[in-house]
Amino acid sequence: MKRRRRYVFLTVFIFFMILVISCGKELNEIKVVPSEKSELGRQIFFDPNLSNPVGLSCSSCHSPEVGFSDPMHRIVSEGAVRGLFSARNVPSIGYSMFSFPLVFDASDSTYSGGFFLDGRVNSLREQAKLPFFNKLEMNNQSESSLAEKVKEASWFPLLEKLYGHIDNPEKMINSMTDAISVFEQSGSLNPFSSKFDYYLKNQVEFTKEEELGLQLFTNPLKGNCASCHITEPDPVSGKILFTDFTYDNIGVPKNPLNAFYSIPTLFNPDGIKFVDSGLGRTVKMNRFAGQFKVPTLRNIAITAPYFHNGFFQTLEEVVHFYNKRDVESFPRPEVELTVNHRETGNLKLSVAEEHAIVAFMRTLTDGYK
């Protein structure tokens, strides 16, 4: 969809590396074996005893079986407290390691990078930390209360081995979330093992429909999907990531089935009138309201429902919406002012071409062999 920036500027990469190095120094100066940190992070990720009340782990909403998205395919996921729901559909966190700090490109007035769908934090570690204290998610009341749970965890001795003895709750939580971020950089979340990846290596062939789908996906005069979901190798990682990390409002309607609308007014004072402004809220500018980060399409076939509010249940519905939004009758966009009408809404694709694009996207599911 979006045209914009296709490459991560060198300055962004340098800033990112400085951020990573500074985070490492903040934790401690001890060099640790990455595989051990990854294993520690894995254990923390799957530990259901770190929520309040206990019972909710990171994996409860980010399951490996469905591309690290919601295993129950809910529109929005329930938190540790029964009856409380977040406002947004849980995004896959697979391949999120390849993002970078939020940056503004003055040449075309666009943002890219950041973590979460609205870019509100700038590192994997920050992304891992916030859900622990979100009242609609894991609901811990303070770093001190979470630190007490950490001390009782079966993996706590490994945490002390890798990060040293830490009494300060803040440093303890930072160590814990650092380990999660290392796990999120492992092959478990970034396997590059889809049919598409084997196709690139000439180890499998696409069907005629999948081949047509790829052609339509990359053709700027047809689907033009690759203008945002890039099929060129990322200049930093050398990998094809199927995202340019930019933000867009493609006119997704408000989802009346969003359970967030019916939670107590203490948590959502606007009720059904709530409007999710996405990036606009992060950067505090209305001209970016309704824009959300372009996701990777890797594992997209197993991460339904789709978009920030889970409005669409199938890939067929999603592609049809991109194709026919402006020529058929759809509900009004949740945020109308910033909808992208230049590149989406009237692609003039046939039904067969829509199906071919979906067939291609199904080749992006990991675990093909």
Q: What is the pLDDT of residues 162-204, one digit of tens each?
A: 999 998 999 999 999 999 999 999 999 999 999 999 999 999 9
Q: What is the pLDDT of residue 13?
A: 42
Q: Model confidence over 2-38: pLDDT tens digits?
A: 444 444 433 444 344 444 444 444 433 334 457 999 9
Can you give the chain as a three-state secondary structure string?
CCCCCCCCCHHHHHHHHHHHHHHHHHHCCCCCCHHHHHHHHHHHHCCCCCCCCCCCCHHHHCEHHHCCECCCCCCCCECCCCCCECCCCCCCCCCHHHCCCCEEECCCCEEECCECCCCCECCHHHHHHHHHHCCCCCCCCCHHHHHHHHHHCCCHHHHHHHHCCCCCHHHHHHHHHHHHHHHCCCCCCCCCCCHHHHHHCCCCCCCHHHHHHHHHHHCCCCCCHHHCCCCCCCCCCCCCCCCCCEEECCCCECCCCCHHHHCCCCCCCCHHHCCCCEHHHHHCCHHHCCEEECCCCCCHHHCCCECCCCCECCHHHHHHHHHHCCCCCCCCECCCCCCCCCCCCCCCCCHHHHHHHHHHHHHHCCCCC
Q: What is the pLDDT of residue 340?
A: 96
334 vs 26, higher pLDDT: 334
Centre a 10 Å sphere on the Cβ of residue 170 and count the other Cβ atoms it contains. 11
Percent of the chain with pLDDT over 70: 91
Give the pTM: 0.91
Q: Model confidence over 343-359: pLDDT tens digits?
A: 999 999 999 999 999 99
User: Taking Cα atoms as reference points, which of 262, 185, 148, 132 lies closest to residue 23?
Assistant: 185
Distance CA 170, CA 129 (A): 11
Q: Which long-range contacts (CB under 8 A, 24 or more apart) does 324-329 make?
A: 325/250, 325/251
Span 132-159, mean pLDDT?
Answer: 98
Mean pLDDT of the chain, nearest integer: 92
Q: Can you give the length of the chain in residues?
A: 369
CB neighbour list of residue 85: distance below 8 Å, 6 or more residues apart: 76, 77, 78, 79, 136, 258, 259, 260, 263
Q: What is the pLDDT of residue 369?
A: 83
Span 116-145, mean pLDDT?
Answer: 98
Distance CA 252, CA 259 (A): 17
Pair of tokens at residue 228 = 């945002």
CB neighbour list of residue 296: distance below 8 Å, 6 or more residues apart: 92, 94, 95, 98, 229, 241, 242, 243
Q: What is the pLDDT of residue 78?
A: 98
